[in-house]
Amino acid sequence: MPATNRRERPLSPHIQIFRWHVPMLTSILTRITGHALMAGVVLALWWLTAAAVSDAAFATANAVATSWFGDLVFTGSLWAVWYHYLAGLRHLYFDAGRGLRIEVAEKLGIAVIVGSVVMTILTIIVI
């Protein structure tokens, strides 16, 4: 094998210039929250199924669903629903060919994140 001249090549992504961008964060959050929504769905389905099975099964499922863990799962699911709703609206805006400049995309991403937190808090207060 011939000797090759190996240069010092940057790692991928190049550590010195790599930084998080808001659109990248919102894309990752969309995937994470989409999968995390399943925890709320599973807990709700378990609660409903237990109600149909027996009083003892319902008591167990209800104890979990109304505990701090259930509150955490349902609150996280509520935030994920709002996040997906607002991210979907942002995506429709992008599909129309608008908001594709970097500055606008970053502002819309921040608006989706902040808006989903605000809407979650408002929903909890109202309900």
Looking up residue 45, the CATH number of its domain turns out to be: 1.20.1300.10
Residue 1: predicted pLDDT: 55
Residue 12: predicted pLDDT: 64
**Total domains in the fold of the chain:** 1
Distance from C-alpha of 26 to C-alpha of 110, rounded to nearest angstrom: 8
Residues 6+ apart with CB under 8 A from 21: 106
The CA distances from residue 13 to 3, 17, 70, 105, in Å, are: 27, 8, 39, 22
Residue 19: predicted pLDDT: 75
Residue 20: predicted pLDDT: 81
Residue carrying structure tokens 């992504």: 13
Distance from C-alpha of 31 to C-alpha of 82, rounded to nearest angstrom: 14
Rounded to two decimals, the pTM is: 0.82
Sign of CA dihedral 127, 73, 36, 119: positive
pLDDT in tens, 21-67: 898 999 999 999 999 899 999 999 999 999 999 999 999 999 999 99
In a domain, 25, yes or no: no
Residue 57: predicted pLDDT: 97
In the predicted structure, residue 69 carries a pLDDT above the cut 70:
yes
Segments forming the whole domain that contains residue 74: 34-126
In a domain, 24, yes or no: no
In a domain, 4, yes or no: no
Closest CA to 69 of 48, 45, 46, 39: 39
Residues 6+ apart with CB under 8 A from 13: none
**Helix H segments across 3-127?**
22-53, 55-65, 68-95, 102-126
In this predicted model, which residue has the larger pLDDT, 14 or 90?
90
In a domain, 45, yes or no: yes
pLDDT in tens, 77-124: 999 999 999 999 999 999 999 999 999 999 999 999 999 999 999 999
